[in-house]
Amino acid sequence: MMRKDRANWIGNLFLLAMLLVLMSLDVSALGVGPSRQIISFSPGQEIEGELIIINDQAEEFRAAVYSQGDLADYVTIINPLIDVESSDTVGRVQYVLKFPLDAPKPGTNKIDLVVRPFPKGADVDDGAVISANIAVISQMIIKVPYPGSYAEGKLFISGTEDGTSPARFFMTVYNFGTEDIDEVYAHVEVQGPLLGKIADFNTETKSVKSKETVNIEASWTPSVNKGSYKAVVTVYYGEKQFRIEQNFDLGNFVIDISDIEVNKFTLGDVAKFDILLENRWNTVMKDVYAKIIVEDGQGKLMTESKTAAIDIAAKQSGKLEAYWYTEGVAPGIYTVKLIVHYSDRVVQKDYEFIVDTNSMTRQGVMVGQAVSREADEEQSMQGFLIVLILVVIALLLAMNIVWFYFLSKQFRKGGDK
């Protein structure tokens, strides 16, 4: 029984050590190239390729490489296990992609070449590869031709940042059929927020051979307000067509903080901040709210609160109300940080207020900035993950210390006997 307990204890320590080493292998230090490639299917074709493992942070590890996806069985990895030294900037893995004589289903098929890092010298088996939670992927997109004439495409819209310069509508058309296409062009219709047609125009006309790609484009100089619009694009080729719809913005949508003021203030009572906002966009902004943070001259937090949320109609103004209970507050200069949340963005302005017995006067704007809410939330999430990892490590260490303590007592009892 004691041997079994000792084996379990040693096994737990080994698992802990493996966990710590795996956690030290930062997946952000790994890269892979090419990250994505598009390949046209040809019966019986054999393609020899090379996968590049990029070691950005000079780590030392063993990489396991394998394929997964619709056509994974057609890929042979020449060296599926590779040791990368800290002095190696890249590791190279050879593979062979061999297509069968019979074509799979027409359309898009995917193969993922997966790279998973392990500690150098680790005994990597199939179970370890599957359970490892760190990976980088190089993706192969296999395009199997359709019989006859068949095309797909992607739309790219650029040049819309200032809302007045010519906007470029760029269409990439892929001929996935077995026949050439003599003529292909697109008709573009620009629609407003109420789905009314604002403008329409055609792209240039080109031809595209089987299994090849062509780019067609057109430009449009807008004479409309900045805001959100939709492009409805119909691509014509022969007697066939396909349609793509894509939303786009002219200009950058913003909520402006017009003003913040406090009226009828008496020190010791509740100060009400009237926050005046301006929606400069052509659609309604929903669920707009603000956080207000008040600090004294030494940066000490005095209060923090959140307003109710409101909707602000297109090209209209809105008002938020925030409150500060000033009992026990001394006269002086205070910093008011105003953070307005709308859509996926945040705009912030910092103000200085002079607080007196019967007045609260704004001195001016100290700082003004607009940031992505995603970036703000990402920083918070990174901090949370670091804390979570440290807690897990501490728990594992504590469990093993307790386990070691009880095993030691068992050993001593056995020795006394």
Give the per-residue SS3 of the chain.
CHHHHHHHHHHHHHHHHHHHHHHHCCHHHEEEECCEEEEECCCCCEEEEEEEEEECCCCCEEEEEEEEECCHHHEEECCCEEEECCCCCEEEEEEEEECCCCCCCCEEEEEEEEEEEECCCCCCCHHHHHHCCCCEEEEEEEEECECCCCEEEEEEEECCCCCCCCEEEEEEEEECECCCEEEEEEEEEEECCCCCEEEEEECCCEEECCCCEEEEEEEECCCCCCEEEEEEEEEEECCEEEEEEEEEEECCCCEEEEEEEECCCCCCCEEEEEEEEEECCCCCEEEEEEEEEEECCCCCEEEEEECCCEEECCCCEEEEEEEEECCCCCCEEEEEEEEEEECCEEEEEEEEEEECCCCEEEEEEEEEEEEEHHHHHHHHHHHHHHHHHHHHHHHHHHHHHHHHHHHHHHHHHHHHC
Q: What per-residue confidence (pLDDT) applies to 94? A: 96
Angle between helices 2-24 and 373-416 (to 10 degrees): 160
Q: What per-residue confidence (pLDDT) applies to 22? A: 42
- pLDDT over 90 percentage in the chain: 51
Decide if pLDDT at 198 tops 90: yes
Q: Please count the CA atoms within 13 angstroms of the CA of 257 that sit on its side-chain side.
A: 28
**CB neighbours of 309 closer than 8 A, spacing ≥ 6?**
287, 288, 289
Decide if pLDDT at 100 tops 70: yes
Contact 223, 170 (CB under 8 A): no
Q: What per-residue confidence (pLDDT) applies to 315? A: 87
Question: Could you tell me where in the chain the CATH 2.60.40.10 domains are found?
Answer: 29-144, 151-250, 255-374
The average confidence (pLDDT) of the chain is: 82
Q: How confident is the model at residue 43 (pLDDT cuts 50, 70, 90)?
A: very high
CATH code linked to domain 151-250:
2.60.40.10
Indicate the range of 72-76, 87-91, 279-283 predicted with least confidence: 279-283
Kindly state the tokens that stand for 243. 């349609």
What are the backbone dihedrals phi and psi of residue 348, each rounded to the nearest 5 degrees, phi first? Answer: -130, 140
Superfamily of domain 255-374: Immunoglobulins (2.60.40.10)
Query: 76 or 196: whose pLDDT is higher?
Result: 76
Decide if pLDDT at 228 tops 90: no
Q: What per-residue confidence (pLDDT) applies to 385? A: 56
Decide if pLDDT at 240 tops 90: yes
Decide if pLDDT at 88 tops 70: yes
List the one residue out of 145, 85, 59, 71 whose CA is nearest residue 113.
71
Residue with tokens 């394998």: 66
Tell me the mean pLDDT in the region 19-31: 52
Classify residue 229 as exposed, middle or buried by CB count within 10 Å of its CB (0-12, 13-18, 19+).
buried
Decide if pLDDT at 414 tops 70: no
Q: How confident is the model at residue 283 (pLDDT cuts 50, 70, 90)?
A: confident
Decide if pLDDT at 407 tops 60: no
Decide if pLDDT at 232 tops 50: yes
Tell me the mean pLDDT in the region 278-302: 90
Fold classified for 29-144? Immunoglobulin-like (2.60.40)
Task: Convert the pLDDT of each residue in 293-340 to its tens digit.
Answer: 999 988 888 998 899 999 999 889 999 999 999 988 999 999 999 999
Q: What per-residue confidence (pLDDT) applies to 403? A: 60
Indicate the range of 20-24, 89-93, 126-130, 295-299 predicted with least confidence: 20-24
Q: What per-residue confidence (pLDDT) applies to 46? A: 96
